[in-house]
Structure 1
Amino acid sequence: MMILFNITVMILMILIIMMLINFIISKKMFKSREKNSPFECGFDPMSKNRLPFSLSFYLISIIFLIFDVEISLILPMIFLSKYYYYLNYLNVMIIMIILLIGLYMEWIEGALKWFK
C-alpha cells in the first residue's frame, strides 16, 4: 500500500514539474495582434472583408461524409456474409435504398449543381 502511495506522489510531482516548465517556457515574448489572432486557412486575419464560404463545397463535403459512413457500415457485412447471408443482403439493400433516395432528393433539390 505504501508503494502505491509513493508512486502516486512521484507521478504527481513529475506532472507538477512538467506543468511548471511548460508555463515558464511557453511565455510569448512579443505580443502582436496577428500572432494572437486565431489562424484560419485561406483567410487573412487582419482584413475585415472576408469572402463568403461556398455553400456548394459544404454540401459536397457532407455528401462525401455520408457515403464514407456508408462504406464503414457495409464493409463489416462483407466479412459476415458467409454466416448471415440473407440478413446481410437485406441490411445492405436497405442502406443502399435509403442512400439512393437521399441522393435522388438532393439531385431534385439542385444541391449537386456547382453553377446555378
Structure 2
Amino acid sequence: MIEAPPINYIPIFLFILASIVFGVGTLVISYFVQPRVYNKEKLTTYECGSEPISDARMPFPVRYYIIAMLFVIFDIEIAFLYPWAVAFNKLGLFGLIEMVIFIALFLIGYIYAWRKGGLEWD
C-alpha cells in the first residue's frame, strides 16, 4: 500500500511545480516572441570590447581580467561589513577595533592597486 505524503510537504511540492512551470513557461514564451532578424554584425564574434581582426596567436591584454578580479576581491571584503554591522552592539569596543584594522588593511590594498595602475582601464 502506498502512503500519502504528509500534508507538510505540499507547499514544497507546489513551490517545485511553480518553479518548473515558470522556467519552462518563460523559455516557451521567449521562443515565440523573440525577434528573428539576423544580420552580419549580430553574428560576428565579440570579446571584451575588441573585435577579433588579427591572428589568433596575438598577445591578449589582461587588463579587463585584472580589473574584474580586483572588483570581486574588494566586493567580497566589503561583504564582511554586513555581519559586523548586525552584531555591532554585541561586539563592543573589541569589535570596533577589529573592524578599524580590517578597513585599514582594505584601504592599504586599495591604495596599492591604485598606485600600481590596476584600476586604470586604458
TM-score by length of 1: 0.51
Check 1:53–1:88 CA distance in 2 against 1; reply closer, same or farther (3 A cut).
Answer: farther
Q: Point out where structure 1 has 5 or more consecutive residues left out of the alignment.
A: 1-40
Letter in 1 for 2:116: E
Output aligned runs, 1:76-115, within 5 Å.
76-115=83-122
| Partner-residue secondary structure (3-state), 2:90 | coil
Partner of 2:61: 54
Structure 2 residue identity aligned to 1:79: V
Q: Against the structure 1 CA distance between its residues 49 and 75, is the aligned structure 2 distance closer, same or farther, given a 3 Å change threshold?
A: same
1:113 positional shift: 1.6
Partner of 1:22: none
Letter in 1 for 2:105: I
Aligned match of 1:65: 72
Superposition deviation, residue 51 in structure 1: 6.3
Unaligned 5+ residue runs, structure 2? 1-44, 48-54
Following the alignment from structure 1 to structure 2, what is the Cα–Cα distance between the partners of residues 76 and 53?
40
Query: What is the rounded CA distance, in whole Å, between the counterparts of 2:74 and 2:83 in structure 1?
Result: 15
Pairs aligned (count): 72
CA displacement, residues 59-83 of structure 1 (integer Å, 9 cap, x when unaligned): 1111111122112212111111111
For 1:42 and 1:55, how far apart are their aligned partners in 2? 16
For CA contacts below 8 A with separation 6 or more, give which structure has more relative contact order: 2
Could you tell me how far apart the structure 1 residues matched to 2:120 and 2:96 are?
33
Q: What do residues 87-113 of structure 1 show as CA deviations (whole Å, max 9, x unaligned)?
A: 221122111111111111112111222
Identity %: 28
Deviations 1:5-24 (A, max 9, x none): xxxxxxxxxxxxxxxxxxxx
Higher-Rg member (1/2): 1
Write the distance in 1 (CA, Å) between the matches of 2:94 and 2:60: 43
